């Protein structure tokens, strides 16, 4: 099998036939392929439509969840079953045009392990969504997720070895685009214009979006846990200076004694913040261990057969 395409679908009955035909057309020129649709516990006729399509076409494979588990989980399930040498992840709603896939394949053939779609324009998305996405990737970068590129979603092509690496990562709260970037495999962008949804409405509720955003930050940065430490240390310095000044000024009878009291309270608050930060340092380490990510990823081995 040369190519696998993983397509998560949650309540997408209106768009499935169109997605299927456009995907088929895009893949046909490329060679041997499979389309793996993952029905993420849809409550409409998504599964029924998928079964009809799969009955006619053996390149279509369907995985169906018992309930709605979420987009990242659906993509992970499809990746776990993918057999292709390259795996494409694409949304079902045709916002990511399947016609971009051959360009991704080209870059993969030229040596890229990950070809991620980078949106140069987003059609039909609200100003709120564009603004929050813009701000979010900047915050993520600031917090230490430097390697996660902005203006990207999960639309990408990954080599089999990247797919296997991600599938083997046992973390439960999955932010796949971050995990792919974290893996360090050779990644190249491919610019594209993100279309409007072909039919239906967004399946990403505000709650799901917040969960994804939270996962992105908490999976790739321990800095929020350490923030009280730095803040506490800065406050302690200031409070100590204030304490010294107030003692001097109270002694020469310029200030009233309350200043000493204030300074002492600030010192105590800083000590509490520092303790919280130290707690965070240890918690961060425990979290890293709990994520159980591989401690290294081997890209190639040379002359290692039989060792
Ligand atoms: N999706 C999913 N499970 C969910 C929510 C969404 O499998 O719980 C799928 C959905 O069917 C689509 C993709 O994830 O193929 C992206 O969702 P959507 O287009 O609604 O998100 P948006 O593009 O609005 O961010
Ligand atoms: Mg969409």
Question: If we measure between CA atoms, which residue out of 38, 90, 34 comes closest to residue 66?
Answer: 38
Residue 148: its pLDDT value, please? 86
Looking at the structure, tell me whether residues 230 and 177 fall in a common domain: no
Looking at the structure, tell me whether residues 195 and 286 fall in a common domain: no
Looking at the structure, tell me whether residues 42 and 187 fall in a common domain: yes
Looking at the structure, tell me whether residues 156 and 199 fall in a common domain: yes
Mean pLDDT throughout 241-256?
A: 94
Residue 270: its pLDDT value, please? 98
- Cα of 228 vs centre of ligand 2, distance in Å, is 37
Which atom of ligand 1 is nearest to 75's Cα?
Answer: 7
Mean pLDDT throughout 186-203?
A: 95
Mean pLDDT throughout 287-305?
A: 91
Looking at the structure, tell me whether residues 126 and 141 fall in a common domain: yes
Residues 51-83 have pLDDT tens digits of: 999 999 999 999 999 999 999 999 999 999 999
Task: Write out the residues surrounding ion ligand 2, Cβ under 5 A.
Answer: 91, 93, 95
Which residue would you say has higher pLDDT here, 275 or 151? 275
**How confident is residue 104, by pLDDT bands cut at 50, 70 and 90?**
very high
How are strands ordered across the β-sheet holding 3-9?
60-64, 33-39, 3-9, 86-89, 152-159, 114-122, 187-194
- Distance of CA 62 to CAs 136, 198, 255, 284, Å? 33, 21, 77, 38
Residues 83-102 have pLDDT tens digits of: 999 999 999 999 999 999 99
The residue whose CB lies within 8 Å of the most ligand 1 atoms, and thus the one to mutate among 66, 71, 208, is 71
Looking at the structure, tell me whether residues 151 and 278 fall in a common domain: no
Mean pLDDT throughout 17-42?
A: 97
Residue 125: its pLDDT value, please? 85
Residue 305: its pLDDT value, please? 82
- Cα of 149 vs centre of ligand 2, distance in Å, is 19
Give me the helices (H) in the chain, please: 16-28, 46-56, 71-81, 101-109, 127-142, 160-168, 176-183, 206-220, 223-251, 258-291
State the chain's mean pLDDT as an integer.
95
- Cα of 40 vs centre of ligand 1, distance in Å, is 9
Residue 301: its pLDDT value, please? 87
Question: If we measure between CA atoms, which residue out of 157, 70, 164 comes closest to residue 115?
Answer: 157
- Cα of 204 vs centre of ligand 1, distance in Å, is 6
Residue 50: its pLDDT value, please? 97
- Burial class (CB within 10 angstroms; exposed 0-12, middle 13-18, buried 19+) of 237: exposed
Decide if pLDDT at 190 tops 80.
Answer: yes
User: Percent of the chain beyond pLDDT 70?
Assistant: 100
State the DSSP code for 58. Answer: T
115 within 8 A of 180, measured Cβ to Cβ: no
The residue whose CB lies within 8 Å of the most ligand 1 atoms, and thus the one to mutate among 7, 10, 199, 206, is 10
For the chain, how many structural domains are there in total?
2
Residues 107-140 have pLDDT tens digits of: 999 999 999 999 998 888 889 988 999 999 999 9
CATH code where residue 55 lies:
3.90.550.10
Looking at the structure, tell me whether residues 44 and 83 fall in a common domain: yes
Residue 147: its pLDDT value, please? 80
Mean pLDDT throughout 25-47?
A: 97
Looking at the structure, tell me whether residues 144 and 285 fall in a common domain: no
Looking at the structure, tell me whether residues 195 and 233 fall in a common domain: no
- Cα of 202 vs centre of ligand 2, distance in Å, is 6
User: Percent of the chain beyond pLDDT 90?
Assistant: 89
Residue 211 lies in a domain: no
Q: Which residues lie with the beta carbon below 6 Å from any ligand 1 atom? A: 8-10, 12, 40, 68, 70-71, 74, 91-93, 95, 202-204, 208
Residue 5: its pLDDT value, please? 98
- Residue 121's DSSP bridge partners are 193
Looking at the structure, tell me whether residues 29 and 49 fall in a common domain: yes
Mean pLDDT throughout 230-243?
A: 98
Looking at the structure, tell me whether residues 129 and 277 fall in a common domain: no
190: containing domain: 2-204+294-302
Residue 285: its pLDDT value, please? 95
- Cα of 216 vs centre of ligand 1, distance in Å, is 17
Decide if pLDDT at 103 tops 90.
Answer: yes
**How confident is residue 300, by pLDDT bands cut at 50, 70 and 90?**
confident
Residue 28 lies in a domain: yes
**How confident is residue 145, by pLDDT bands cut at 50, 70 and 90?**
confident
Which residue, judged by its Cα, is nearest atom 24 of ligand 1? 202
| Nearest ligand for residue 202 CA | 1
């Amino acid at each position: 099998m040369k190519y696998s395409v993983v397509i998560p679908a949650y309540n997408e009955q209106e768009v499935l036939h169109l997605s299927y035909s456009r995907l088929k057309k895009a893949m046909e020129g490329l060679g041997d392929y499979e389309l793996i649709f993952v029905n993420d516990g849809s409550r409409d006729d998504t599964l029924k439509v998928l079964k009809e399509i799969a009955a006619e076409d053996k390149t279509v494979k369907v995985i169906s969840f018992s309930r709605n588990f979420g987009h990242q989980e659906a993509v992970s399930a499809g990746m776990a079953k993918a057999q292709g040498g390259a795996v494409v992840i694409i949304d079902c709603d045709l916002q990511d045009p399947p016609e971009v896939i051959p360009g991704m394949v080209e870059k993969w053939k030229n040596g890229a392990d990950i070809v991620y779609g980078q949106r140069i324009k987003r059609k039909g998305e609200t100003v709120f969504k564009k603004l929050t996405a813009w701000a979010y990737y900047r915050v993520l970068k600031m917090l230490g997720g430097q390697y996660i590129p902005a203006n990207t979603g999960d639309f990408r092509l990954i080599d089999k070895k990247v797919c296997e690496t991600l599938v083997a990562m046992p973390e439960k709260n999955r932010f796949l685009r971050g995990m792919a970037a974290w893996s360090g495999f050779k990644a190249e962008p491919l610019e594209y214009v993100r279309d409007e949804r072909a039919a239906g409405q967004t399946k990403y509720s505000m709650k799901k979006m917040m969960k994804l955003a939270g996962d992105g930050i908490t999976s790739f940065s321990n800095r929020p846990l350490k923030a009280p430490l730095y803040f506490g240390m800065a406050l302690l310095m200031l409070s100590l200076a204030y304490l010294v000044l107030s003692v001097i000024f109270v002694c020469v009878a310029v200030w009233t004694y309350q200043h000493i009291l204030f300074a002492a309270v600030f010192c105590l608050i800083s000590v509490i913040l520092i303790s919280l930060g130290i707690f965070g340092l240890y918690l961060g380490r425990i979290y890293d261990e709990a994520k159980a990510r591989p401690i290294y990823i081997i890209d190639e081995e040379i002359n290692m057969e039989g060792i």
